[in-house]
Amino acid sequence: MDLDTARQELKEFIPHVNNISDGSIRKMAGRDLARFKQFKKQGIAVKFGRFTRKENDQIRKNVEEFLSISGIDNAEKILFTSRYPEDKETINRLKAEHQFCAKISEGIPRPWRLIYYRARKMFDPNNYKGRYSKEEKEQLKKYHAIHGNDWKKISELMSRSNLSVAMKFSEIKSAVNYGPWRKDEIQKLKHAVKEAVRKKVEMEDGSSPSSQPNRDLWVDREKLCQQLPWTEIETKVGSRYWRQCKQKWNSILVKKMSKGQELHRWIKGLQNKITLIKRLHEMKVEDANEVNWEELGDAIGDVPTAYLQVQFYRLKVSFVPFWQKKTFPEIIDFLFQYKLPELEEKL
């Protein structure tokens, strides 16, 4: 299959395929296209975003089954083969012989690359080493001064995962302000987000970033909430960690979209609580990550999805006993069966 044909066929499943490199398209054509078509026949859409509990369980099952049929003794060897140079040749031969790529993605309607990265995160023992000591933080700064953003190299030197060292360095690289946001910080945040959204829109439109640098930017609400480059925004703000930037931006959006009204008005309103419970019950999903929060947000009120998820968390904590031990469907069923009638009686 030629590159243009592969890109065209993948576009049915991946809307942003035009932004993917030619090399990645070739790999996806080999690893994913046939899988996507099979899922389509079953009426299953290709998914992105956070992995659900069910998908995580399927990954564990796939890895365990592959270990069983291949005879390899642990998941680290198949997912981090470079850590075992003496066994590398044998491991790679067994992975090819027993079709590792196909096996690990079995039953999961997502691009293979995302499944593989998720498996690496789940099975990397270096992800579970607890808090960084003061000595480790100093080590991290020293290694970064030598190796820059070569997180793979730094992770090997520190026996931590790539993601762990990258995220920790983002947190400690400069003095972070944990107090109230100053006006100048908020202005920097707004400017950084505006530039990030502008770049995103121009890439999607195919226009040059410098063609109309001062034109007004009109975008959908979703673009103001989703998939923003928070580490870049953090760098431009300078005095805040990226998670702080994300949380502050969400609070700014909620305030703007509610036109200055009380932020928690929708969740405190009796009818809105009833609507939220009913909508979640109608969805009949197995995991919170399967909820279409954008659609739910439109039904409840014009609020960012992150804010909506926080409010649902508060709702279950307030009304569902022992919610930590319940599955998502059990939480929704409890709210629907026991709390909903109480709320409706008060109307």
Find out whether 114 and 48 touch, Cβ atoms under 8 Å.
yes
Give 160's contacts (C-beta < 8 A, 6+ positions apart): 126, 127, 129, 168
Find out whether 234 and 172 touch, Cβ atoms under 8 Å.
no
What is the helix (H) or strand (E) element at residue 278, kind and residue range?
helix 270-283
Residue 212: φ, ψ to 5°: -140, 70
Which amino acid is located at 286 in the chain? Answer: E
Helix then strand count (H, E) for the chain reads: 20, 0
Per-residue pLDDT tens listing for the chain (347 residues): 788 898 888 888 887 777 788 888 888 888 899 999 999 999 988 887 778 888 999 999 999 999 999 999 999 999 999 889 899 999 999 999 999 999 999 999 999 999 998 998 889 888 777 888 888 888 998 998 899 888 888 988 888 888 788 878 877 766 667 788 999 999 999 999 888 888 877 766 555 444 444 444 455 555 566 668 887 888 888 888 888 888 888 888 767 655 545 444 544 567 777 888 888 888 887 777 778 777 777 766 666 677 677 778 888 998 899 998 888 889 999 988 888 888 888 76
Give 347's contacts (C-beta < 8 A, 6+ positions apart): 270, 271, 274
Task: Report which of 4, 2, 6, 62 is spatially closest to residue 34, judged by C-alpha positions.
Answer: 6
Give 52's contacts (C-beta < 8 A, 6+ positions apart): 286, 287, 289, 290
What gap in Å lies between CA 173 and CA 326, rounded to an integer? 39
User: What's the confidence (pLDDT) of residue 215?
Assistant: 47
Assigned architecture for domain 130-172: Orthogonal Bundle (1.10)
Indicate the domain borders of the chain.
3-125, 130-172, 183-257, 265-346
Find out whether 303 and 297 touch, Cβ atoms under 8 Å.
yes
Angle, helices 33-41/22-31, rounded to nearest 10 degrees: 50
Find out whether 246 and 230 touch, Cβ atoms under 8 Å.
yes
Phi-psi region of 169 (alpha: psi -120 to 50; beta: other; left: phi over 0): alpha
Neighbours of 159 (CB within 10 A): 11
Give 209's contacts (C-beta < 8 A, 6+ positions apart): 198, 199, 202
Neighbours of 130 (CB within 10 A): 5
Neighbours of 160 (CB within 10 A): 22
What is the helix (H) or strand (E) element at residue 86, kind and residue range?
none
Task: Report which of 68, 47, 117, 24 is spatially closest to residue 285, judged by C-alpha positions.
Answer: 47
What gap in Å lies between CA 25 and CA 108, rounded to an integer? 19
What gap in Å lies between CA 337 and CA 330, rounded to an integer? 10
Give the dihedral sign, CA 278/283/287/290.
negative
pTM, full prediction: 0.58
What is the helix (H) or strand (E) element at residue 217, kind and residue range?
none
What gap in Å lies between CA 335 and CA 339, rounded to an integer? 5
Burial 28-61 (b: 16+ CB within 10 A, else e): bbebbbebbeebeeeeeebbeeebbeebbebbee
User: What's the confidence (pLDDT) of residue 347?
Assistant: 67
